[in-house]
Amino acid sequence: MPLDQTTLLIELEPVVATNLDRHLLLAKEWFPHEYVPWSSGRTFDGVLDGEPWRPDDSDLPDVARTALIVNLLTEDNLPSYHHEIATLFGRDGAWGTWVHRWTAEEGRHGIAIRDYLTVTRGVDPVALERARMTHMESGYTNAHSDEVLHSVAYVAFQELATRISHRNTGKATGDPIAEQLLARVAADENLHMVFYRNLLAAAFDLAPNEAMRAVTDVAAGFQMPGATIEGFGRKALSIALAGIYDLRQHRDEVLAPVLRQWNVWDRTDLGPEGERAREELDAHMTDLETQAARFEEKREARKVREARK
């Protein structure tokens, strides 16, 4: 008999409690204000009649600006993410403590990145604010908002994806201050990933076929949490061309290592349903390999073309 959603939540509660304790032990307290070079700041035009923003206020490469905007807008949508997980996981017991703790940690990310960008005049603050309004007004809905295992599988991948994206964005800025800040944010995302990954590992032992199905559905339909940002396709392409987050990284550094941790390829506890899901996942990984290789070829060809110009 497949376990219903409530039974899954109850059965997983002790695992949440253990991993919450582990998380609280490992999570390091940090302060966003320490990472921001406040003395570089200047008052803006408008209410206080300072200097308007100009593109040459900052030396950040264009693609780093794009990636910072995407990462920040993604973090900005936290109220929607909180709504999704609070509704599904609940606000009581260990689940609730995790939901609130996670939300508080995520809240730091948007604060720190926005402060950095505003003080250093890294991006147009008016365009950024308008983009934030548009993005948040459209909200975010989890693709499997009433399924516990699908949701846990999604966040395990997504936290790792954001870790890599923050880390590589930091490197792309060419600014050691931004790099340090984004490495700090990425370290938070890594601990979040470990929490959800451990949780789904326990779910695999509890309900292997259902967990396998969830992982396959989520890997096959994966969208970045910022996918609804205006102009996301164009932005994601330039981010991929710069090697900040591309299909190769998505396949080899996000999906593959987490799948290995869950031992999906060598499990012996799957029934026919689980086996079918695993075969689908295998086909998907092969397909991603082809797509990633094709993208890398195109990117290489493009580089050669541009070098000739």
Interface residues with Fe ion (CB under 5 A) are 106, 109, 159, 189, 192
**Cα separation, 279 vs 291, whole angstroms:** 18
Cα distances (angstroms) measured from residue 84 to each of 40, 88, 132, 144:
38, 6, 19, 10
Q: Which helix (H) or strand (E) holds 308?
A: helix 272-308
Q: Output 178-184 pairs: Cβ under 8 A, ≥24 positions apart.
A: 178/60, 178/64, 178/68, 178/116, 178/120, 178/122, 180/35, 181/35, 181/36, 181/112, 181/113, 181/116, 182/71, 182/113, 184/30, 184/35, 184/112
- Compare residues 147 and 189 and give the one whose CB is closer to Fe ion: 189
- Compare residues 158 and 209 and give the one whose CB is closer to Fe ion: 158
- Compare residues 66 and 209 and give the one whose CB is closer to Fe ion: 66
Q: What is the nearest approach in angstroms of Fe ion to the Cβ of residue 186?
A: 9
Q: What is the nearest approach in angstroms of Fe ion to the Cβ of residue 72?
A: 10
- Compare residues 22 and 284 and give the one whose CB is closer to Fe ion: 22
Contact 169, 181 (CB under 8 A): no
Q: What is the nearest approach in angstroms of Fe ion to the Cβ of residue 205?
A: 25
Spatial CA neighbour of 8 closest among 177, 214, 182: 214
- Compare residues 132 and 192 and give the one whose CB is closer to Fe ion: 192
- Compare residues 192 and 248 and give the one whose CB is closer to Fe ion: 192
Q: What is the nearest approach in angstroms of Fe ion to the Cβ of residue 306?
A: 33
- Compare residues 22 and 299 and give the one whose CB is closer to Fe ion: 22
Q: What is the nearest approach in angstroms of Fe ion to the Cβ of residue 167?
A: 12
Q: Which helix (H) or strand (E) holds 22?
A: helix 5-26
Query: Which residue matches tokens 């923050």?
Result: 166
- Compare residues 254 and 281 and give the one whose CB is closer to Fe ion: 254
Q: 36 — phi, psi (to 5°)?
A: -110, 130
- The sign one gets for the Cα dihedral 15, 21, 27, 29 is positive
Q: What is the nearest approach in angstroms of Fe ion to the Cβ of residue 163?
A: 8
Q: What is the nearest approach in angstroms of Fe ion to the Cβ of residue 158?
A: 8
Q: Strand, coil or helix: what is 87?
A: helix
Residues constituting the chain: 309
Q: What is the nearest approach in angstroms of Fe ion to the Cβ of residue 185?
A: 6
CA atoms within 13 A on the CB side of 186: 16
Q: What's the one-letter identity of residue 70?
A: V
